Amino acid sequence: MNPLIAKLKLIERTINDEKGGFALFALLLRRDAVDRWDLVAAANWIDADRSGAMNYLSEKLTSALDDQDIVRIDRIAPLSVDNPSIQTLQQDLHSHGLRDGHGVAPLVQEDSDLQEIRNIDFSSQDIRMGFVFALNTEGKSVKLPLIPNSAD
């Protein structure tokens, strides 16, 4: 597994334990970006204090990531938990598989709490690829279901 992905997975779990669950915690690569990723986060505790949450997230990232990883994250993008794009992504993860390079697929078969997405539209952004660490419209982290990587 990519070291940055492994580190972010640990960061998400730590934050979940300290602050509460996420509606969404994902690393997304916009089509027009060159290895500069957006960390997208939505949670009730972020909605309650966006400025404080951004500082908290920034501190967590800078304390856990090295300089090489930090420069790969272009921005932290907070979303409200009621953003309809989160619900749409959750529906896509539950009902669609990866077909012709588009959609979602399990990154690692044994790891159902990490999903890879490719070539999707998310919140009016053209996403080339991404990794979803936590996704739940109720604002709690849950294990994501394994999605078959075939076009049955």
87 has a pLDDT exceeding 60? yes
Q: Convert the pLDDT of each residue in 39-71 to its tens digit.
A: 999 999 999 999 999 999 999 999 999 999 999
Neighbour-count burial for 93-120, b at 16+ CB within 10 Å, e otherwise: beeebbeeeebbbbbeeeeebbbbbbeb
37 has a pLDDT exceeding 70? yes
105 has a pLDDT exceeding 70? no
pTM of the entire predicted model: 0.81
pLDDT value of position 25: 96
Distance CA 144, CA 139 (A): 14
Q: How does residue 96 score in pLDDT terms, banded at 50, 70 and 90?
A: low
